[in-house]
Structure 1
Amino acid sequence: MHKKRTFKTRCERARAFPIEKALAKLGHFPTRTSVKEAWFLSPFRSETQASFKVSKELNRWYDHGAGRGGNVIDLVCIINGSSVKETLDWLENGQISFSFQQRPLIPEQNASGIRVRYARPIGHFALIRYLNSRKIPVSTAAKLCQEVHYILRGRNFFAIGLKNDSGGWELRNKYYKNSSSPKDFTHIKNGNNSLIVTEGMFDMLSLLERDKNLMEKNDLLILNSLAFVEKIPGLFEGYETVQLFLDNDKAGKRVVEILLEQSPKCRDMLNLYKDFKDVNAWWMSEKL
């Protein structure tokens, strides 16, 4: 009897835990809020328009798109895939999945152990804000990237994700960068005879924002790592011109030298951003 009463008491106390706070600790933040309610993109299904409502007065949630709702215990059980007991421990002991905002809990930059839960169109306001800080509108990012939710060491994360040719993901948000296995470059074929090459995703997104018709005129190659330089000369065979927008550092310049020696099709485009470390740094300065 005492055990049952204790469990019942724990449930009653846990139900008082603010849903907004629980969602924030899981890395989900409202797209709009008022005194009485907050609206979120659904934390457990893909959507672009927020239909997940939290009543602050009742401390209850309802997902209009899924037609289901409940209390904070129900919600955490669904998101974490946990039992009621595990959820009670989670709420009581602060055993939280660290969120996008919690900088002290940045994961190690190690690709091993990452399990992608799902990818969806970019809609989370924290990621949109991050894109804006890099001077990239979400409409441009959406041409190449998605919002990726994944698990690392039992904890939940989300980031801007670029898929590579082997099915792995390059993952970026405000506080860290990571990648899932397998690592590879990202080659986007649009049927053109000109190829644009960058080292990272934000350099390519900057070029796409600079020239709205870039994808119509060129194929794109994002290296994701200079380690793949030995693999890429073979890709140049089908192109008449190859424009290189690699980082303005010792490693980037060395790769450009190698590629220029190997193929007369290559052109070094460093002059465009010669006073900056990379294309995105130059683009950000242009938009100040």
Structure 2
Amino acid sequence: MKRKKTFRTRCETARDFPIEKALAKLGHFPTRTSVKEAWFPSPFRSETQASFKVSRLLNRWYDHGAGKGGNVIDLVCLLNRSTVREALDWLENGQISFSFHQHRFNEFKEEGIKIREVKILGHKALQEYVEKRGISLPTALGLCREVHYSLRDRMYFAIGLQNDSNGWELRNKYVKNSSSPKDITYIKNGNRRLIVTEGMFDMLSLMERDKKLRDQNDMLILNSLAFVEKIPELFESYESVQLYLDNDKAGKRAVEISLEQSPKCRDMSYVYKDFKDVNAWWMSKKL
């Protein structure tokens, strides 16, 4: 008897669906392509110059005009105004069960997150959340803030990590979100070694593990694998670059790209080889 796929397994499988193929099924085609990438007019608004990039190597998209990006599931959810489960059904079955062309895509930016207040991380629920992720409050305070924001006229709050373009990565017990513009978070301390992670909790885990990490290393949090191809020039000033990226297909491919681009890079995934990412490994050590 065939076992029913779990929600997590369905998501992992769906992320491999080619973004270009999904866009083509929805009537969107590139204006220029190369081996590594394809550029489209944004499917979210009218424009004369293509600002929507698809990385063919990573199967990730990034809309430069809106400062948002992600994987194919994120894209289908946004374009079809669907839930994740509906997006999975569409990717698996290839059937559109709702009218794609009826949506007003110029609402994409208007409905975006608006930051209302940034302060020291003090809310009890957020403190409990970081501690549940294996991070002590002093470590979290060294990198994160408490951010209150609005989305579609409703107020929310989350742990926030600011990026280099003054956007915010936002996390709490219930949501993983970000405000525009999307960018890397590059923390320069004048050191000769660079630590690279995909997300904030991976870096926090490494900081929790080694209290001297920040003093002895510069730190780079990608916030999205879509930025992997634009950062090799940052590696030039370092003696070594340690890569702590996720143990999934996209993360491994991002490591391959970085290793090809710079001999200074070192894949550190062996440290957490039996886990999805650094934070999952670190939480297991704290149990």
- TM-score range, shorter-chain basis? 0.5 to 0.7
- How far is 1:118 from its partner? 1.1
Tell me, yes or no, if the aligned pair for 1:144 and 1:162 is still in contact at 8 Å. yes
Query: Hey, what does 2:171 align to over in structure 1?
Result: 172
Q: Distance in 2 between matches of 1:274 and 1:287?
A: 17
Query: Hey, what does 2:11 align to over in structure 1?
Result: none
The question of 1:152 aligning with 2:145 is answered no
- How far is 1:110 from its partner? 9.0
- How far is 1:138 from its partner? 1.3
Relative distance call for 1:223 and 1:270 in structure 2 (3 A) is same
TM-score by length of 2: 0.61
Relative distance call for 1:110 and 1:226 in structure 2 (3 A) is farther
Matches within 5 A, 1:108-119: 112-119=111-118
Relative distance call for 1:189 and 1:128 in structure 2 (3 A) is same
Q: Distance in 2 between matches of 1:188 and 1:286?
A: 26
Matches within 5 A, 1:19-58: none
Query: Hey, what does 2:197 align to over in structure 1?
Result: 198
The question of 1:279 aligning with 2:256 is answered no
Query: Hey, what does 2:236 align to over in structure 1?
Result: 237
Tell me, yes or no, if the aligned pair for 1:111 and 1:178 is still in contact at 8 Å. no
Matches within 5 A, 1:116-265: 116-265=115-264
- SS of 2:186's equivalent in the other structure is strand
Q: Distance in 2 between matches of 1:246 and 1:158?
A: 27
Structure 1: runs of 5 or more not aligned: 1-108
- SS of 1:150's equivalent in the other structure is strand
- How far is 1:112 from its partner? 5.0
Q: Distance in 2 between matches of 1:125 and 1:251?
A: 34
Sequence identity percentage: 72
Relative distance call for 1:165 and 1:111 in structure 2 (3 A) is farther
Q: Distance in 1 between matches of 2:182 and 2:151?
A: 17
- How far is 1:230 from its partner? 1.2
The residue type equivalent to 2:176 in the other structure is K
Question: Could you report, residue by residue, the CA deviation over 1:220-269 in whole angstroms, capped at 9, with x for unpaired residues?
Answer: 00000000011110111111100000000000000101111110000000
Q: Distance in 1 between matches of 2:159 and 2:150?
A: 14
The residue type equivalent to 1:281 in the other structure is A
- SS of 2:223's equivalent in the other structure is coil
RMSD: 1.4
Relative distance call for 1:133 and 1:161 in structure 2 (3 A) is same
Tell me, yes or no, if the aligned pair for 1:112 and 1:180 is still in contact at 8 Å. no
- SS of 1:277's equivalent in the other structure is coil
Q: Distance in 2 between matches of 1:238 and 1:201?
A: 23
Aligned residues: 180
TM-score by length of 1: 0.61
- How far is 1:132 from its partner? 1.0
Relative distance call for 1:269 and 1:178 in structure 2 (3 A) is same
Q: Distance in 2 between matches of 1:112 and 1:221?
A: 29
The residue type equivalent to 1:142 in the other structure is L
The residue type equivalent to 2:256 in the other structure is E
Query: Hey, what does 1:35 align to over in structure 2?
Result: none
Tell me, yes or no, if the aligned pair for 2:111 and 2:152 is still in contact at 8 Å. no
Which 4+ stretches in 1 moved above 6 angstroms?
Answer: none
- SS of 2:247's equivalent in the other structure is coil
